[in-house]
């Protein structure tokens, strides 16, 4: 699975080799060393590393071959790298919609509710992890956030003279996904046995909000094609005066997407709430056994 994941990652864009480097560095930085060495005592790990090395070498050679791409008069062509770095740094969160979802020919940003929900939930997760996590995992999260913020300006500064301002928010999706994963791991390590009050309610609420945000974004993307997103076209017009029809009715598509989202949310809920008992929880039960026996 690791080899297949790396194969698809490094074949998306040339900068994906940089994403792989960042992922590898973060994994080494945050790894428990006993587990790390235990993993690499397995022959399968060295086979995987060898295959990944071959994949990376071939992809690197491919990206170095000139492709004869058509030159276009891009915005900011010939600008100074310093100016490009400053502009990109200023616009860091201006690319936020591209991390969540951007549809059509980059002319349909996600609905505001979707952006707000993602920002609130992921923001709370990241802030909580930065404040409460500890050790190598906290350091790894902070380092990852620094890379996430600085790589786009550095990359754009290197390209601006020849290519202009070409960066899009979706180019950093591999790093954006990592933010939530690392923050979650850091908090889980910090509070492995803590029972959070009303945890199930919080989990259900969070999953419900995320599910709603995803389904809304899906329907919003369909609206872009069926009637358009300008203020003169409403959701009702999708039912009464559609200007385009997908091969499958859009209501059926949306219902199917909502069903898949519901199943995914249920699976996540089960995975979180039915985890095996942790060491501390088992120890607590054993410590209570003598008292329970005396009571019997």
Could you read off the pLDDT of 146-203 as tens digits, one per residue? 999 999 999 999 988 888 888 888 889 989 999 999 999 999 888 887 777 788 899 9
Q: Is the dihedral of CA 147, 153, 157, 159 positive or negative?
A: positive
CA distance 209 to 119: 12
Note the pLDDT of residue 195: 73
CA distance 187 to 203: 15
| DSSP structural state of residue 11 | T
Note the pLDDT of residue 277: 53
Tell which wins on pLDDT, 62 or 79.
62
- pLDDT > 90: percent of the chain: 52
Indicate whether 107 pLDDT > 70. yes
Spacing of C-alpha 97 from chain mean position: 13
pLDDT band for position 285 (50/70/90)?
very low
Note the pLDDT of residue 125: 94
CA distance 109 to 176: 17
**Tens-place pLDDT, residues 235-284:** 888 888 889 989 999 999 999 999 999 999 999 999 888 876 544 444 44
Angle between helices 135-163 and 112-132 (to 10 degrees): 130
- Boundaries of every domain in the chain: 1-69, 77-191, 194-287
Three-state secondary structure call for residue 108: strand
């Amino acid at each position: 699975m690791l080899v297949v994941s790396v194969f698809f990652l490094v074949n998306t864009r040339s900068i994906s080799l940089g994403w792989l480097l960042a992922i590898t560095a973060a994994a080494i930085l945050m790894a428990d060393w006993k587990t790390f060495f235990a993993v690499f005592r397995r022959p399968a790990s060295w086979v995987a590393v060898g295959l990944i090395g071959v994949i990376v070498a071939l992809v690197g050679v491919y990206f170095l071959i000139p492709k004869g791409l058509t030159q276009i008069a891009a915005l900011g062509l010939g600008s100074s790298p310093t100016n490009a770095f400053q502009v990109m740094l200023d616009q860091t969160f201006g690319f936020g919609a591209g991390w969540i979802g951007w549809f059509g020919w980059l002319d349909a940003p996600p609905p505001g509710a979707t952006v707000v929900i993602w920002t609130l939930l992921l923001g709370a997760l990241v802030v909580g992890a930065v404040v409460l996590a500890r050790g190598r995992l906290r350091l790894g999260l902070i380092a990852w956030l620094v890379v996430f913020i600085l790589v786009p300006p550095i990359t754009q500064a290197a390209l601006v003279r020849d290519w202009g301002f070409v960066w899009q928010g979706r180019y950093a999706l591999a790093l954006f996904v990592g933010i939530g994963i690392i923050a979650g791991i850091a908090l889980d390590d910090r509070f492995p046995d803590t029972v959070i009050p009303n945890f199930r309610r919080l989990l259900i609420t969070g999953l419900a909000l995320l599910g709603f945000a995803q389904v809304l974004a899906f329907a919003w993307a369909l609206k872009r094609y069926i009637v358009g997103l300008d203020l003169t076209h409403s959701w009702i017009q999708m039912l009464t005066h559609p200007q385009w029809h997908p091969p499958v009715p859009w209501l059926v598509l949306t219902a199917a997407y909502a069903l898949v989202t519901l199943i995914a949310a249920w699976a996540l809920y089960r995975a979180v709430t039915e985890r095996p008992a942790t060491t501390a929880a088992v120890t607590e039960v054993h410590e209570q056994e003598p008292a329970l026996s005396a009571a019997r």
